[in-house]
Structure formats: structure tokens, C-alpha cells
Structure 1
Amino acid sequence: MEPLELRRAVEAGRATASELGLQVDDVIVIHNSDRVVLRMIPCGVLARVAPSEHLAASEFEVEVARSLADAGAPVAELEPRVEPRVHVRDAFVISFWTYYEPVGSKITPADYADVLMRHHAALRQINLDAPHFSDRVARSLSEVNDRERSLELLDSDREFLSNTLSGLSAAVSIGKAGDQLLHGEPHPGNLLNTRRGPLFVDLATCCRGPIEFDLAHAPEDVAKHYAGADPDLIHQCRALNWAMFSAWRWRRNDQMPDRNHWRVEGLNRLRAACLRMSGT
């Protein structure tokens, strides 16, 4: 968010928390992108604040969190001192979560695989109306194919991204019989190491697809410890993930920090993933 919008988002989060009886003397911005994550002190609460157009996604994330908590999944939980729902204030939507103090030790590949397998097992126990991963691919493809929404993307890169997104989406979707609910983006930034053990956050990305789609977000060594995973499908999914990542970076209104760097880096990572996938 830009500075003015960020200040409004912080104030919306602070005011809502205070109205709910939570003591807020200070607010620390932990993450700032198209939505912000705030640590509130001294109440020990984490607030996720997004523009109101993200209401549906925020409500979906709360629904996923509630279902997974009931299933005993290794996920960050909603704040128990307030009603588990999305609050609306000053054109922002706000949800409140438990804050977990991070533990400094690194999560090993074996532990990463274990927590992801436990997360997948919990996801198989719940019933949610979640989109298929190919729906997300289609949205990113629409950004690439609409020149008005991605004005600065070179024609050669646009064609490369479009062909890669459509081709890999079709290839990965072939085996739909094995699809299940997934985290959607279980990369290291969405896995906290806490005193309770590793916990997944950012649950709004939940979707349906093969487990390899999730494994493609994890460090490469993790797949070696996940029984039954298809290495070739992981390579396809990793290339597809970089294609989607790159597509979003070329949106006119993308707010990822250091966007210009990641525009170039994303395309470079995608080309490398495609070369590896083809075995060249």
C-alpha cells in the first residue's frame, strides 16, 4: 500500500481492535503489499487488513482457518478473544489472528515435508467450495493477454508467458482424479516456526489440485521426504508457479515491494524452470 493508504489501514485496524476490547498501544507493520499484516502491542494480536474489494477472499480465509482448526491442522489460528469473522471499517476489511513469536531454528526439509503432509491430511477431512488451481492460472493469463492491464510487458515476453501459462495449466490438469484441497502457496514465507511447531499462514490461497502444486512452492529438498510425489509433475508445477508469479508482477497496479527487480527475476526463474523441465 502507498503511505497514505497504509496509514488509513493501520488506523482502521487499530480502531477496530480497540472497539473489540483489545489493548493497542502500538502497531508494527510486519508486511505491506496489496494488504497489510499488523502486530498489535501489548494485546499480542495479528491483524490482516485489506481494501474492501478483498472482502470475499478475507471471508474465505476465515472459513478455511475455522475448518482447519477443527480438523487439528498445523495452521495459525484466529484470535480467540474476538468473534471469528471479518470486520469492515473505512473501506477496509480486517481479520484478527493469534500472534506467534517466531523461533530462530531452521525448518529442515524432513520437518517441512511432515508438516505439509499433516496439513494435506487435515484438508482431506474438510469440505470447502474452493477454486481449482487452474482458475488462478486463468486469472493471471487474463492479465497477460490484456495489454491495457500489463502495458509495460514486451510482446515477446507476453507471448512466452501466455503460451507457458495455458500449456502448463492444461498439462498439470490432466490427472484431476488425484486432486484434493491444497494450501495453494505453502512457500517458506507462509510457514512459521513457532514454539508450537511449524504453522502455515495465509490460508486464502486454498484451492484444489495435485499435491505436487503445493510441493512446487516448497524448497526443492522437501519433495524427497514426501512419499508418493511425482518429480516430473513438481517440475511442471514449479514452472507454472513462476509463470503466475511473473504475470502478476506486470500488472499496472501490482504493489509487491521491489517490483521492478522481481519482474526481471521472475521471467529469468521461469525460463530456467522451463529448461529444467525439458531436461536441457
Structure 2
Amino acid sequence: MEASELRRAVEAGRATASELGLDVDDVVVVHDSDRVALHLVPCGVLARVAPLGHLAASEFEVEVARRLADGDAPVAELDPRVESRVHVRDAFAVSLWTYYEPVGSEIASTDYADALLRHHAALRQVDLDAPHFTDRVALALREVNDREHSPELPEPDRRLLSDTLGGLGAAVGTDRADDQLLHGEPHPGNLLNTRRGPLFVDLATCCRGPVEFDLAHAPDDVAQHYRGADHGLLHRCRALNWAMFSAWRWRRVDHMPDRDHWRVEGLNRVRAALDRCGPGRPEAGGAGTPVG
């Protein structure tokens, strides 16, 4: 967020918690992007604050958390001291979650896979209307094909991303027999190592698709410990994920830190993932950005 908007978001999070009877002496910004995560001290709350344009996503995330609350899902929980809903204040949507003190050690691949397996098992028990992952692929494809939205994307790389998103998106999304509710983006940044064990956060990305779409967000060695994974499908999903990641980085309005690095690295990761797909992969569409 811009500095002035961030100040307003911090105040919205603080004021919302205080009015609900929670003790807030200090606010620590944990994450700052299109929405922010705030650690409220000493009440032990994580406030997620987003502009009202993200209200529907915030409400969806809270609903997913509510549906999972009675199961054994390894996910962060809403704060039990206040009503489980999104609060609107000063043009911001505010939701209040339990804050988990992070544990410093790295999450082992076996524990990562176990958490994802348990999360998927819990999600299979939830009846929730969620978008299909191909909706996200289609949105990324529109961004790539709109030269006004991505004016700096070189044409060979535009063809690479367009072919990957269009071709693999259609191929992976055709067979929906094994689709289920997914986390959507269970990458390492969305898995906290806590005293309770690994817990997934950022439930707003919940969607439907094959479990391999989720697994493709995890480090490569996690898949070796996930029972029943289709590794051919996993390679295709990983290529799709990197193509979507790259599509967002080339948007004119993207503000990800180190964006120039990730523009190049993302395209390199797409090519590497496509090489692992073997025969039948989409055509690369040209040389584009060099690897290395």
C-alpha cells in the first residue's frame, strides 16, 4: 500500500479491535501488499485489512475459516473472542484472526506434505461454492494478451505465456472427475511454522481443482511424500502456476518487491517447468528472455 493508505489501514485495524474490547497498545506490520496483516499487541490478534474493493474476498476467506473450524484442518483460526465476520471501517474490510508466534525452524518436507494432506481431507468435507482454478488461469491469460496492461512484456515471452496459459490451462482443466476444494496457493509463504505445528493462512485463494494444483505451489520434494499424487499432472500444474506468476509480474500496475528480478526468474521457471512436462508441452513461441 502507499504510505498514506497504510497509515489509514493500520488505524482501521487498531480501532476495530479496540472497539470490540481487545487491548491494543501497539501495531506491528507483518505483511504489506494489496492488503496488510497487522500484529496487534498485547491482545494477540492478527488483523487482515484490505480496501473495500477486496470486501468480497475478505468475506469469502472468513466463510472458509468458519466452515473449517469444526474439522481437523491445519489452518489459522479466527479470533474466538469476537464475532466471526468482516468489519468495515474507513473504507477498509477488517477481519480478526489468532496471532501465532512463529517457530524459527524450517518445515520439513514430510510435515509439509502431511499438513497439505490433512488440509485437503478437511476441505473435502466442506460444501462451499468456490471458483475453479481455471478462472484464475483465464484472468492471467487476459492480462498477458492485453498489451495495454502488460506493455513491457517482450513479444516472444508474451507468446510463451499465452501458449502455456491457454494450452495447459485447457488441458489440465478438462478432466474434473477428481476435482475438490483446494487452498489455492499453499506456497511456503502461506504455511506458518507454529507451536501447534504447520498452519496454512490466506484462505481467500480457495478454489476447485485437482490436488496437484495445490501441490505445485509447494517445494519440489514435498510431492515425494504426498500419497497418490499424479506427477505428470503436477509438472503441468507447476508450469501453469509459474506462468500465472509471471503474468502478474508483467502487469503495468504490479508493485512486487524485486519485480525486475522476478520478471526474468518467473519466465525462466516457466521454461524449466515446461521442459519437465515432456512431449505434448505447448510451443515456447520464441527465444524470449535468456535463461541465467
TM-score (norm 2): 0.93
Report if the CA contact (8 A) 2:46-2:96 is conserved: yes
In structure 2, C-alpha distance between the alignment counterparts of 1:268 and 1:16, rounded to whole Å: 44
In structure 2, C-alpha distance between the alignment counterparts of 1:153 and 1:8, rounded to whole Å: 34
Displacement after TM superposition at 1:190 (Å): 0.7
In structure 1, C-alpha distance between the alignment counterparts of 2:79 and 2:257, rounded to whole Å: 28
Report if the CA contact (8 A) 2:76-2:97 is conserved: yes
Following TM superposition, where does structure 1 have runs of at least 4 consecutive aligned residues deviating by more than 2 angstroms? none
Displacement after TM superposition at 1:278 (Å): 2.2
Q: Does 1:49 align with 2:49?
A: yes
After superposition, the CA RMSD in angstroms is: 1.3
Unaligned runs of 5+ in 2: 282-292
What are the within-5 Å matches in structure 2 for residues 1-150 of structure 1?
1-150=1-150
Unaligned runs of 5+ in 1: none
In structure 2, C-alpha distance between the alignment counterparts of 1:197 and 1:45, rounded to whole Å: 18
In structure 2, C-alpha distance between the alignment counterparts of 1:88 and 1:59, rounded to whole Å: 11
Report if the CA contact (8 A) 1:23-1:41 is conserved: yes
In structure 2, C-alpha distance between the alignment counterparts of 1:69 and 1:12, rounded to whole Å: 26
In structure 2, C-alpha distance between the alignment counterparts of 1:266 and 1:21, rounded to whole Å: 45
In structure 2, C-alpha distance between the alignment counterparts of 1:3 and 1:249, rounded to whole Å: 22
Displacement after TM superposition at 1:260 (Å): 2.0
SS at match of 1:263: helix
Letter of the structure 1 residue corresponding to residue 214 of structure 2: D
Displacement after TM superposition at 1:271 (Å): 1.4
Identity in percent? 77
Letter of the structure 1 residue corresponding to residue 104 of structure 2: G
Displacement after TM superposition at 1:174 (Å): 2.8
SS at match of 1:113: helix
Which is richer in helix? 1
- Greater Cα offset, 4-13 or 180-189: 4-13
Report if the CA contact (8 A) 2:51-2:91 is conserved: yes
Q: Does 1:228 align with 2:228?
A: yes
In structure 1, C-alpha distance between the alignment counterparts of 2:200 and 2:247, rounded to whole Å: 25
Displacement after TM superposition at 1:277 (Å): 1.9
Report if the CA contact (8 A) 1:13-1:47 is conserved: yes
Report if the CA contact (8 A) 1:74-1:118 is conserved: yes
TM-score (norm 1): 0.97
In structure 2, C-alpha distance between the alignment counterparts of 1:255 and 1:37, rounded to whole Å: 17
